[in-house]
Amino acid sequence: MEKTQKKRDAVEEERIEADKLLERARAITTYDGTGDLISLAREIDDRIQIITKDGAFFFRLRANALQSDAAIVKAADVKRSRELSDQADDLLAQAQALEKLVAPLRKERERLLKIFNDATARPTTCHECGHELAVEEV
C-alpha cells in the first residue's frame, strides 16, 4: 500500500505563526523595562521578512514560470496550457493570501515600538516649571 504525503499548506502554516505572534503582541500593553517587547518586535519583523521575501516571492516566481510555460505550450497543447495557467493562478492567490497576513503584523510591530518609544522618550519640558528643555539639559 502506497503512503501519500499530505500536501503542505504554506499559507495556513504562516497564518498560524502570525496568529501566535499577534496574540503575544496584543498581550503587551506597557513597557516593563525588559527586552521582551523589543525581542517580540524583532520576531514580528523576522516573520514579515519570511512571509514577503521567502513565501510570497517564491509563489510569484513559480507562478511566473508556469505562465511562461503555459504560453510556450499553448500552440501545441491548449489543454495543458490551461492547466499550467490555472496552477499559476492558484500560486498567485496563495501569494496574495500570504501578503494579507503582513498588514496586522506591521500594525502590531509599530504599536509595540510606540509603547517602547513612549516609555523611554526623554522629557521635552521641565517637570517642575514646564519650560522647554534644550537637548543638553535633558
Sketch the domain layout of the chain as residue ranges: 10-137
- CA quadruple 56, 62, 66, 72: dihedral sign: positive
d(CA 8, CA 58): 15
pLDDT reported for residue 34 = 82
Range 103-121 average pLDDT:
92
Residue 125 sits at φ, ψ, to 5 deg, of: -130, 155
Q: Rounded to two decimals, what is the model's pTM?
A: 0.74
Look up residue 26 and give its three cell numbers.
496584543
Measured over the CA atoms of residue 51, residue 52, residue 55 and residue 56, the dihedral's sign is: positive
115 contacts 37 by C-beta, under 8 angstroms: yes
Per-residue pLDDT of 16-66, as tens digits, reads 999 999 999 999 999 988 889 999 999 999 999 999 988 899 999 999 999
**Residue 132, phi then psi, degrees to nearest 5:** -65, 130
Residue linked to cell 493570501: 97
